Amino acid sequence: MTSSQSHRGLFEELRCYWHGIGPLWKLYWIYGVLLSTLGGTFLLAVVLQRALPVPALLPIFAIALIYTGYILVSIWRSAFNIQSDPLGIDREAWGWLARVLTFGWALNAAGGSLMMLQYAMRY
């Protein structure tokens, strides 16, 4: 295998995660927690500082919701992609924990999005 074949491109990696292929840790912690936290912080700051008018915020909200939907579905599908038993806990238990947390994450994202939209509409 050549060097170019051993490293998937970003879009190929994201496509694989959508289909439930790839290590859960990277999807959950890097694409999920880290990038979602950074994006959510940016979005919240823009809304609270009233940095953009509402019409400019709507496409940003749409992109954020699409990304969140992608992450939630991908984590759900990849939940059992764990190589070992981290901390001595069965990998199946970690998979179910990932799914439970994903469900909570979805509720939190929905509620947070509604609150930010409501606040943004009060311009």
Token digits for 58? 């709507």
pLDDT value of residue 7: 65
Share of the chain above pLDDT 90, in %: 67
pLDDT at residue number 83:
87
Instruction: Please report which confidence band the pLDDT of residue 106 belongs to, taking 50, 70 and 90 as the band edges.
Output: very high
C-alpha 8/C-alpha 5 separation (Å) is 7
To which H or E segment does residue 6 belong? helix 3-6
Which contacts (CB < 8 Å, 24+ apart) does range 97-106 have? 98/24, 98/28, 99/75, 102/72, 102/75, 102/76, 105/32, 105/72, 106/72
What integer pLDDT is reported at residue 81 of this predicted model?
A: 94
In the predicted structure, residue 6 carries a pLDDT above the cut 70: no
Tens-digit pLDDT profile for residues 58-90: 899 999 999 999 999 999 999 999 988 888 889
Q: pTM of the full predicted structure?
A: 0.83
Which residue in 53, 24, 41 sits closest to 122, CA to CA? 53
